[in-house]
Amino acid sequence: MATFFIKRLRPFLQEKCKWSPIGGPLSPLKVNDFLDDGEVPADSLYHAWALLREQSRDLRVGDLLVTESESVFVCTYSGFEEASWLPAAVAPVPDEKDSGRDAVASQIAEAGS
């Protein structure tokens, strides 16, 4: 039996998801758009869906089930579709050589003024 982690779409995004086209390609998901809501042990995605329904914790369109291996599945009107997370933005690390050049360039600019 596998464990599925439940992630709920934030309420203010529910309306947008509700009116999105059916069957189109899914855009990558943003981690910040979802709230953790525990986990459920189940044999499959649909078994997890049924167990949550029995517990009055129904999945809504846009909610996620994430497997232990971090595969992500979005609850849609017609079942579940596999999705992926949007890669986290990585800030560029300044190169020590480049930062030295910037300091020298600013000193030259100040001296010329």
Provide the residue ranges of all domains of the chain, joining segments of one domain with +.
Answer: 2-112
Residue 72: closest CA among 54, 45, 52, 50:
45
pLDDT at 48: 96
Count of CB atoms situated within 10 Å of the CB of 89: 5
CB neighbours of 88 closer than 8 A, spacing ≥ 6?
Answer: 31
Q: State pLDDT tens for residues 99-110.
A: 555 666 666 666
Q: What is the pLDDT of residue 100?
A: 56
Model confidence pLDDT, tens digit, residues 62-97: 999 999 999 999 998 888 999 989 887 666 666 655
Each residue's pLDDT tens digit, 10-33: 988 887 776 666 666 677 899 999
Beta pairing class for 64-66 and 2-9: antiparallel
Name which of 33-37, 38-42, 50-54, 100-104 the model is least confident about.
Answer: 100-104
Identify which of 45, 51, 92 has the alpha carbon closest to the alpha carbon of residue 65: 45
Calpha distance 82→25 (Å, rounded): 10
